[in-house]
Structure 1
Amino acid sequence: MHKKLLLSGAAALAMSAPAYAQDEDHGHEDDEIIVTASPIGHPEHESIIPASVLTEEELASRGEASIGQLLRQEPGVSATFFGPAASRPVIRGLSGDRVSVLDAGIGSIDASSVSDDHAVAVDPAMAKRIEIVRGAATLYYGSSAAGGVVNVFDGRIPDAEPEGGLDGALRTSLATVDDSVEAAGGFDALVAKAGDTSIVFHGEGYYRNTDDYDIPGFAESEAFHAAAEAEEGDHEGEEHAEEEEAFGTAPNTAMQAKGGAVGGSVIFPDGYIGVSAKFARSLYGVPGHQHHEAEGVMEAGGHGEEAVNIDLEQNRYDLMGEFNKPFLFVDTTKIRFGYADYTHQELEGDAVGTTFNNKGFEGRVEFLEKQYGNFRGASGFQVKHRNFEAIGDEAFTPPNITDQFGVFTMREYETDNWHVQVGGRYEHTKTEADTVSLSRSFDAFSVSAGLGVEPADNLFFGVNALRTERAPAPEELFSNGPHLATNAYEVGDPTLGIETARGVETTLHGEFGRLSATVNGFYTDYKDFVALTPTGAEEEEIPVFTFGAHNAVFKGFEAQADADLFSLADFDVSARAQLDYVKAKFKNDGGAVPRIPPLRSIFGLEATSPYVDLRGEVEIAADQKHIADYELPTDGYTLVNLAATFRPGGEDSGLSVQLRADNVTNEEARLATSFLKDVAPLPGRSFKVTLRGEF
């Protein structure tokens, strides 16, 4: 059952997105267990920290090329959208180094947090489950999780025997908006068994090829075009648009991607231990570089005549295990370790402009303690090493090495109706930039305390207070050079200190017969919030932006309601409504924090049966006029999506065909969270067919 901890306060109940599968029963017994929000897993309806789960079936129905686009319609989540290949999640208006994308609990070990045009090395093609934590997860995952976590599980290290000795899935799809061809598949096989011990092998692979995607009209927004005309003169601006502006297609948005993994585990009665090796390769266009610029507007691609493409490679090796044999005060031990060698080259035509390299590892060990009466706890430690360098024309950050060590603990007290949770983390971070002879060390302390109460059956209220600290990222400290992707000459501040957040979050979840509803609210007050802001000066004909410490406030809510409406013949009809909003401003002058998503609502309707599922969705985004300096307002949009899934052999056959029509009305839609919003809208009308088989 897919129940997210978000409730809609909207009165209307309408259409459910293709991604929003519903179960017939809203009872607690079907709630997914969340393991990302806390070392001690809890059902969704009992999680004090707002979190949610997307299942394998839901993920397969979406079929997006990037994590950001895959999750963009989740409550409280938007995307950076630097083209379809490079799109990172934005959670409650926070992104970059404040949102951590994990690969089964370990960081992605890439360069995606350095710049929005860098793709996440975790491809969603093989994902079996994704957990989303909204709000600070600093206590368990470190400074890079100050705004939230997206944890992707692909199962390449098996933790259980496959049913019948072999199981797997294959999927292929075609889409019209970008003439895409996609294929993915994976399997688990029992290869040996001796007594209660077994060896399971896993294999997987994916392939994706797309052309430039279609758009409803001009690539440039009306606001951007008007700003350019004001700068160039009315007549000259009109001539420029007629001769040079892209229409009907977003230039340089094609991609090619492939990857695969092998893994194996030894599974025994008290747990398992396994290893895996994975590779990822992609070549994708970076849109926006051919567009002219409007002076005084911070947008990507104002410079550069050549099309820019990124050639990305990552080789990764992981170890994971869980041991349920108690010793001393420990009941369960979990270990996780990953090492990756990552590189990408930014190609300007045939020439290599800049090369980014990142070699690093991350490991964590968690100890779940034995329960004593109503008390239980968990503790652990985490280590991280990153050796990062940028070489070439756009090396705006000097080579740097970062080492981080953290220890954390949490305590819980739980009765039938009450749930008390307290936790803390200490983290030491050392960052060195050798070429500029700079070195900084930070000691960060984070604490939280939460209270949950279930005053009646099927009703849960939780409140969590937190004080977290984040060490500044190397890019925020050491940058000093042109960053053409964002059309900014970025200057870091090596004197930056700890960023401190104090906040409170609340969640209310209720189930009332056929209706299930949840609402989350949050308020976070930041001291020394690190932001990239304009100075008004120029360097090399590029606007200068500096990383500086500001005081800021983020506040908002996410809400969702699900209802089982009625049955008609073999169809069960259900509905969903959701609403989310975030407002972020600097306290010193009241100005807006840049690239914040607007008020958004989604209404959906779904009819399911053993042989056919029908789904439809309307997404409505408001105008975003609360903008920062050097930003343009973003017009709202309404997107209509439809889907039909056919199972010729019934729901247990494992074979399905899905037909999707996205953006049916061919609406022009631009994300306020994207640097490219005024030169690259979201894709236009698309028809997609997906064939999926399970065995």
Structure 2
Amino acid sequence: MKFQRKLAAAAVLSALSTLSHAQSAPQGTDAAIPKVVVTATPFRAAEGDQILTPAKILSGDELRDKVGGSLGETLSQELGVSASGFGPGASRPIIRGLEGSRVKMLENGMAVSDVSGLSNDHAVAAEGAVARQIEILRGPAALLYGSGAIGGLVNVVNERIPTHLEQKPVGQAEVRYGTVDDSRNASGSIDAAAGAIGFHVDGNIRRAHDYKIPGPRALGDDSSPRGRLSDSFTRQETGGAGASLIGDWGHVGASFSLLDSLYGIPSGEGARIDQSQTRYDIDSLVNTPFDGVESFKFKLGYTDYQHTELDAANEPEVKFTNRSLESRWELAHKPLAGWHGTLGMQTENTHFAALSEHEDHTTVPATHSTSVAGFLVEERDFGKLRMNAGVRLESVKRRPSGMQKRDFDLASYSIGGMYPVLPGYSAGMTLSVAQRAPATEELYSEGPHHATETFDIGNPDFKKETSHNIELTVQKTTGLVRWKANLFENKVKDFVFGHITGVLVEEEGEELRERIFEQADARIRGAEAEIGYNQLGQGLSLRAFADTSRGKLERGDSLPLQPAKRVGFDLGYRKGPLRTGMSLMRAMEQDRLASVEETATPAYTQLGANLSYTQKYRSHDLTWFLLAKNLLDEDIRLSTSLLKDVSPLPGRNFVFGVRTRF
């Protein structure tokens, strides 16, 4: 399906034509620092107030500085988050060493419903360039959104369906250019109102050529090609519009969005993916519908997604399709016997297939999956101790064409508490049990996947995964100096993973590596720490962080594609219209190899910088900015990437641009 370019272009041009005053920078005091609400939690608490879900919110200037061509790139330097690194077009977040279907991707609290969880070469069908904020949730409360969220979730909030009326048109617009890949990006969004009806329009256009690399393409091979990394280009267009009726009683609205993308897979075989998605959403909220109830929410989303894997001659090889209908009901009740909570139900109905263009094999047969889940989350204070408890019961059915049917009954629950040991300081602990049904491709794969150069074989007899999690947290959330530290351990029974056997399968004249999905017990342990000084205030700001995780099978092997240990530092300065900063991250050598991995990932140092200046132009403000990435021009390989041996990250890159918020 061809994308209608006029929608995205209109959003950008309209935003640029209505520039107004930008918001001033917050001051470095508790009273002036705004609390950004985490929309994907049942209590809509602020970052740092979470018990069941340690959270991070990217918004404002911080988000604009970090936004990249993919969600993985945008979030790759956040605490506990790394990226899959399957080229710039398909980099997906990895949370605490867990990836794929164990990390759920949301847009405005509803599943993105793409197929990015199936394989690292599949891009996430959500755009960060037009996001108001991006939320990272790690921990058991993420299970409220599905059993696939054992690792956590990422929620992209673009507020495409307005929830409040604007007094005048507001929004944002930005254009930028990058030197390493000759990239051009234009994005914008507008919110306005007419009477009791709110409107929203947004759009994004991105063009990027193959990017420059700092050394030889192949790791340790000086004779391999240099210059630009072939098939690292991206082309993407997105656009959306929404409207809602808003009053004191609440709101009801709908939205429509389109995505069209073509990007390369730098595997050396000339693969590329042609991706498109059409999405429809309905969102409603009724305040105090009856006594004892604070609010009732209803959401409905339908997604029609497809992508085709193309070879070097642009001939189709495998076509992936996914049509999904999701509904969600939430009832927030007023305090009852001291407990305040949310009761809800979620349903999902999907039709998925991955069909080879050749008659010999069906990569994944057409499969109809349904799930019905009920959940309850409650919160209560016992003196100074704040407790949360949650439970989710879910039934999942998989009905493939011509293969074994499977049913899974899942039960996930958690309990956590946070205690203020001193004013501004708190300590907490969370215990949880989470269950996940094996994904469709893990059960029924039986064919070639050319983009990953594998021949995948699933197992329809797999059991459900069961994860037992414990997490300890200490934090300081007030004052100019704030910090937090987390320790966690996940023990997973019947963990599903892909085992590359070393056997080569001949397929249409191409040799593919045999990948068999297997189950074994696993354990993931890790630690994270972060400290910041004056992060949002005027003057000098500092941040330091470190994280590590280790995933092992109980039989002794390391889990594949595990993230490296990292330590990072940020230094910033704000004064009036000037804002500048630099960041330094050191990733250690990753030599904890799975049985199928042959090479260790070298250590690297990643240095970046930013500079921006806001100037008055007639009746509005313009912010000019310069971003520098990989200033040391290092040969960076990601241990979490299947392509690390043949696909380094981009070399030195300077990004120039201008933006406005109005």
Same structural fold, with TM-score higher than 0.5 when normalized by the shorter chain? yes
- Separation (CA, whole Å) in 2 of partners of 1:616 and 1:450: 37
Check conservation: 1:417, 1:455, Cα contact below 8 A.
Answer: no
How far did residue 114 of structure 1 move? 1.5
Residue number among 121, 124, 133 corresponding to 2:137 in the alignment: 133
Report the equivalent of 2:366.
Answer: 399
Report the equivalent of 1:624.
Answer: 590
Report the equivalent of 1:355.
Answer: 319
Residue number among 662, 674, 680 corresponding to 2:647 in the alignment: 680
Cα shift readout 1:198-231 (whole Å, capped 9, x = no counterpart): 1011111111111001110111111xx4xxxxxx
SS in 1 for 2:365: coil
Check conservation: 2:636, 2:649, Cα contact below 8 A.
Answer: yes
Report the equivalent of 2:232.
Answer: 253
Residues 99 and 613 of structure 1: CA distance in aligned 2, closer, same or farther (over 3 Å): same
Check conservation: 1:28, 1:458, Cα contact below 8 A.
Answer: no
The answer to whether the aligner puts 1:525 opposite 2:491 as a matched pair is: yes
SS in 1 for 2:63: helix
- Separation (CA, whole Å) in 1 of partners of 2:26 and 2:266: 37
Map 1:138-537 → 2, pairs under 5 A? 139-162=143-166, 164-191=167-194, 193=195, 198-222=196-220, 225=221, 242=223, 245-290=224-269, 307-348=270-311, 349-372=313-336, 374-392=338-356, 393=358, 395-415=362-382, 417-434=384-401, 436-511=402-477, 513-537=479-503
Report the equivalent of 1:16.
Answer: none
- Separation (CA, whole Å) in 2 of partners of 1:288 and 1:667: 20
- Separation (CA, whole Å) in 1 of partners of 2:549 and 2:131: 28
Report the equivalent of 1:120.
Answer: 124
What is the aligned length?
Answer: 627
Check conservation: 2:172, 2:660, Cα contact below 8 A.
Answer: yes
SS in 1 for 2:73: helix
- Separation (CA, whole Å) in 1 of partners of 2:625 and 2:383: 43
How far did residue 554 of structure 1 move? 0.3
Check conservation: 1:212, 1:251, Cα contact below 8 A.
Answer: yes
Report the equivalent of 1:293.
Answer: none
Report the equivalent of 2:46.
Answer: 43
How far did residue 138 of structure 1 move? 5.2
How far did residue 511 of structure 1 move? 4.5
Residues 380 and 614 of structure 1: CA distance in aligned 2, closer, same or farther (over 3 Å): same
- Separation (CA, whole Å) in 2 of partners of 1:167 and 1:174: 24
Please identify runs of 4+ aligned residues in structure 1 that moved more than 6 A: none
Map 1:555-566 → 2, pairs under 5 A? 555-564=525-534
The answer to whether the aligner puts 1:580 opposite 2:544 as a matched pair is: no
How far did residue 351 of structure 1 move? 1.6
Residues 248 and 473 of structure 1: CA distance in aligned 2, closer, same or farther (over 3 Å): same
Check conservation: 2:26, 2:33, Cα contact below 8 A.
Answer: no
SS in 2 for 1:438: coil
Amino acid at match of 2:111: G
- Separation (CA, whole Å) in 2 of partners of 1:495 and 1:373: 45
SS in 1 for 2:148: helix
How far did residue 253 of structure 1 move? 0.9
The answer to whether the aligner puts 1:106 opposite 2:114 as a matched pair is: no
- Separation (CA, whole Å) in 1 of partners of 2:536 and 2:623: 25
Moved more, 65-74 or 392-401: 392-401
SS in 2 for 1:216: coil
Map 1:540-551 → 2, pairs under 5 A? 540=506, 541-551=511-521
- Separation (CA, whole Å) in 2 of partners of 1:23 and 1:210: 37
Check conservation: 1:139, 1:408, Cα contact below 8 A.
Answer: no
SS in 1 for 2:392: strand
Cα shift readout 1:178-203 (whole Å, capped 9, x = no counterpart): 00111011101112x2xxxx101111
Residues 61 and 351 of structure 1: CA distance in aligned 2, closer, same or farther (over 3 Å): same
Amino acid at match of 1:558: E
SS in 2 for 1:337: strand
The answer to whether the aligner puts 1:554 opposite 2:554 as a matched pair is: no
Check conservation: 1:407, 1:427, Cα contact below 8 A.
Answer: yes
TM-score by length of 1: 0.87
Amino acid at match of 2:190: F
- Separation (CA, whole Å) in 1 of partners of 2:535 and 2:253: 45
- Separation (CA, whole Å) in 1 of partners of 2:355 and 2:234: 24
SS in 2 for 1:69: helix
How far did residue 546 of structure 1 move? 1.5
* Structure 1: tracts of 5 or more residues without a match: 1-20, 226-240, 291-306
Report the equivalent of 1:299.
Answer: none
How far did residue 549 of structure 1 move? 1.3
Percent identical residues: 34
How far did residue 677 of structure 1 move? 1.0
Residue number among 639, 642, 663 corresponding to 2:606 in the alignment: 639
Check conservation: 2:268, 2:646, Cα contact below 8 A.
Answer: no
- Separation (CA, whole Å) in 2 of partners of 1:65 and 1:658: 17
How far did residue 328 of structure 1 move? 4.1
- Separation (CA, whole Å) in 1 of partners of 2:155 and 2:477: 27
Cα shift readout 1:230-249 (whole Å, capped 9, x = no counterpart): xxxxxxxxxxx74xx32121
- Let me know the Cα RMSD of the aligned residues: 2.0
Residues 694 and 43 of structure 1: CA distance in aligned 2, closer, same or farther (over 3 Å): closer
The answer to whether the aligner puts 1:90 opposite 2:71 as a matched pair is: no
Residues 138 and 441 of structure 1: CA distance in aligned 2, closer, same or farther (over 3 Å): farther
- Separation (CA, whole Å) in 1 of partners of 2:423 and 2:37: 19
Amino acid at match of 2:178: A
Check conservation: 1:518, 1:561, Cα contact below 8 A.
Answer: yes
Check conservation: 1:137, 1:146, Cα contact below 8 A.
Answer: no
How far did residue 535 of structure 1 move? 3.2
Residues 601 and 653 of structure 1: CA distance in aligned 2, closer, same or farther (over 3 Å): farther
The answer to whether the aligner puts 1:602 opposite 2:568 as a matched pair is: yes
- Separation (CA, whole Å) in 2 of partners of 1:246 and 1:353: 27
Amino acid at match of 2:379: E
How far did residue 76 of structure 1 move? 0.4
- Separation (CA, whole Å) in 1 of partners of 2:632 and 2:328: 48
Map 1:13-28 → 2, pairs under 5 A? 24-26=28-30
* Structure 2: tracts of 5 or more residues without a match: 1-24
Check conservation: 2:28, 2:480, Cα contact below 8 A.
Answer: no
Check conservation: 1:576, 1:604, Cα contact below 8 A.
Answer: yes
